[in-house]
Amino acid sequence: MTSSTGRKVTANLSLTLDGRYNGPGGPSDFGMFAPYVTTEVARGHLTRIWEGATTAMLGRINAEGFLGYWPSVAEDESADPRDRGYAKWLVGAEKVVFSTTLTEAPWERTRLVNAPAADVVAELKTTGEGDILVNSSASVIKALLSADLIDRLYLMIFPEIAGGGQRLFDDGLPASVWTLTHQETGKLGEMAMVYDRVR
């Protein structure tokens, strides 16, 4: 049996009140999120998620979308310092991208994998240090929740009901208990919450 370094697996995602991470228009329907993602609470939360992490795990769609946006923020001296801090971290961090279709890595310091998320996490936990952050990629988060491998959830809850779209917490997940370790509410009613898995 390989030894573990004790690295934590963390995950971040934004959800509506009805638990959706996108709207009824499909995976690119984020209209209801727009008013909230640049609030003080959201930006503080963004910093919180990456500060302890050294590895970012991403699904292909997020990896390609982030690549089109964040590297320019890292270079933009007029960008909010919290956005820029996250962008610089993301560009510089070790990245693991899950894909069955990509043949070459879309970023520097990126490794493509076509394997179950649980197996990849097990391998990552044998070396290195720092948290392994599943960076806003719901498909990877769902797989790791199913395997009970997530140690911390960073959730932003936005005060809207989408009425359709994909949910994070599907039926059939193993039962688990979590402790609320941080909570903050913004002026628009958005909530940043950090939950740690009780084991």
183, containing H or E segment: strand 178-185
Look up the CATH superfamily of 9-22+41-130+139-197. Answer: Dihydrofolate Reductase, subunit A (3.40.430.10)
> pLDDT by residue (tens digit) across 100-117?
998 888 788 999 999 999
- Phi and psi for 108 in degrees, rounded to 5? -70, 160
> pLDDT by residue (tens digit) across 8-52?
999 999 999 999 999 999 888 988 899 999 999 999 999 999 999
| pLDDT for the residue numbered 3 | 61
The DSSP output letter for 89 is: H
Secondary structure of residue 58 in the 3-state scheme: strand
Its pTM stands at: 0.94
Query: What does the domain layout of the chain look like in residue ranges?
Result: 9-22+41-130+139-197
| pLDDT for the residue numbered 51 | 95
Interacting residues of 128 by C-beta distance below 8 A, sequence separation 6+? 5, 7, 54, 55, 94
Beta carbons of 19 and 143 less than 8 angstroms apart: no
